[in-house]
């Protein structure tokens, strides 16, 4: 509890510091809900202005959203530019999200979310495979559904480096923690300023994610011995009987001695 209070105090100091920072440019207004979602995905790893430009390239470089849906990640990278930050990850998130929307709605129209409640919107976004936490939170914030504080990868790295969040806290938990300690009225401004500030202090090259270690292959169980057929069992019985019959019988002297002993015992 004490540690939680210490981190909360650091967040409040960070909020105060961001208030002194130069105001970030206002984000471009996006009326189309699908364009907004694409922008939310692309701004996870890049500045607002660059994400806005990337959305325009995607729209102008494809026939329609369905054409974009069936495009491969490689084709999307070609549209947004190979120099786009973490371009492959952004392209894969777009592909997965559009496919998931189409599988659920049989279309790529999100206008129904304009009249949906926050809870219904969150439920729908959470059902989309591949959609990241930043894109979900930013969509909630920009669509006016309520309180949400997006944390992109640059912001997350800066929050950890500055000690505002524990190093062991993952990015999903960081979203909830930061949202609980920033006033709703200040969220948009704080997000834009911290995003700009963190982006300026971001590492030039992100460390490559380690490939997961292959799981140990289970040791195959020893196969049971093959079951004998009825004929084989019968042959084995015959062999045992023959072997028993072939044993030498007792000598007459020994037999007489044994019978004598048994007679004496009876008397």
In a domain, 237, yes or no: no
- CATH number of the domain enclosing 184: 1.10.340.30
What is the structure's pLDDT at 4? 75
In a domain, 229, yes or no: no
| Lookup: tokens for 134 | 């930043």
pTM over 0.75: no
In a domain, 267, yes or no: no
| CA 134 – CA 90 distance, rounded (Å) | 12
Over range 29-35, report the average pLDDT: 89
In a domain, 124, yes or no: yes
Q: What is the largest CA-CA distance in the chain?
A: 125
More confident residue, 267 or 38: 38
Asked if residues 47 and 197 have their Cβ atoms less than 8 Å apart, the reply is: no
- In order of 78, 255, 258, the CA distances from 252 in angstroms are 105, 5, 10
Segment among 45-54, 173-182, 228-237 with least mean pLDDT = 228-237
Over range 131-157, report the average pLDDT: 92
Q: Is the confidence at residue 127, as pLDDT, over 90?
A: yes
Q: What secondary structure letter does DSSP report for 225?
A: P
In a domain, 262, yes or no: no
What is the structure's pLDDT at 207? 45
Segment among 5-14, 18-27, 69-78 with least mean pLDDT = 18-27
What is the structure's pLDDT at 88? 95
| CA 4 – CA 166 distance, rounded (Å) | 9
- Name residues whose C-beta falls within 8 Å of residue 141's C-beta, 6 or more positions apart in sequence: 148, 149, 150, 187, 188, 191
Highest mean pLDDT among 7-16, 35-44, 165-174, 254-263: 35-44
For the chain, the domain total comes to 1
Asked if residues 71 and 95 have their Cβ atoms less than 8 Å apart, the reply is: yes
Q: How confident is the model over 52-67, as pLDDT tens digits?
A: 999 999 999 999 999 9
State which residues form the domain around 79: 2-200
In a domain, 143, yes or no: yes
Over range 199-210, report the average pLDDT: 58
In a domain, 109, yes or no: yes
In a domain, 242, yes or no: no
């Amino acid at each position: 509890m004490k540690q939680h209070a210490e981190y909360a105090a650091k967040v409040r100091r960070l909020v105060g510091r961001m208030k002194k920072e130069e105001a970030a440019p206002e984000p471009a207004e996006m009326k189309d809900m699908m364009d907004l979602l694409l922008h939310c995905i692309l701004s996870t790893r890049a500045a607002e202005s660059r994400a806005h430009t990337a959305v325009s390239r995607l729209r102008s470089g494809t026939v329609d959203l369905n054409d974009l849906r069936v495009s491969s990640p490689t084709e999307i990278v070609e549209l947004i530019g190979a120099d786009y930050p973490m371009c492959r990850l952004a392209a894969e998130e777009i592909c997965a999200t559009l496919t998931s929307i189409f599988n659920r709605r049989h279309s790529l129209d999100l206008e129904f979310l304009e009249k949906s409640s926050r809870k219904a919107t969150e439920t729908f976004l959470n059902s989309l495979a591949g959609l990241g936490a930043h894109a979900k939170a930013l969509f909630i914030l920009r669509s006016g559904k309520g309180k949400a504080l997006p944390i992109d990868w640059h912001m997350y790295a800066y929050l950890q480096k500055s000690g505002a969040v524990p190093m062991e806290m993952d990015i999903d938990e960081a979203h909830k923690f930061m949202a609980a300690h920033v006033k709703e009225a200040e969220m948009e401004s704080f997000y834009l300023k911290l995003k700009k500030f963190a982006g300026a202090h971001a590492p030039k090259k992100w460390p490559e994610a380690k490939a997961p270690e292959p799981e140990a292959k289970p040791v195959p169980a020893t196969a049971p011995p093959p079951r004998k057929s009825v004929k084989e069992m019968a042959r084995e019985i015959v062999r045992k009987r023959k072997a028993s019959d072939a044993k030498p019988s007792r000598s007459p002297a020994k037999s007489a001695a044994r019978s004598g002993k048994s007679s004496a015992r009876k008397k």
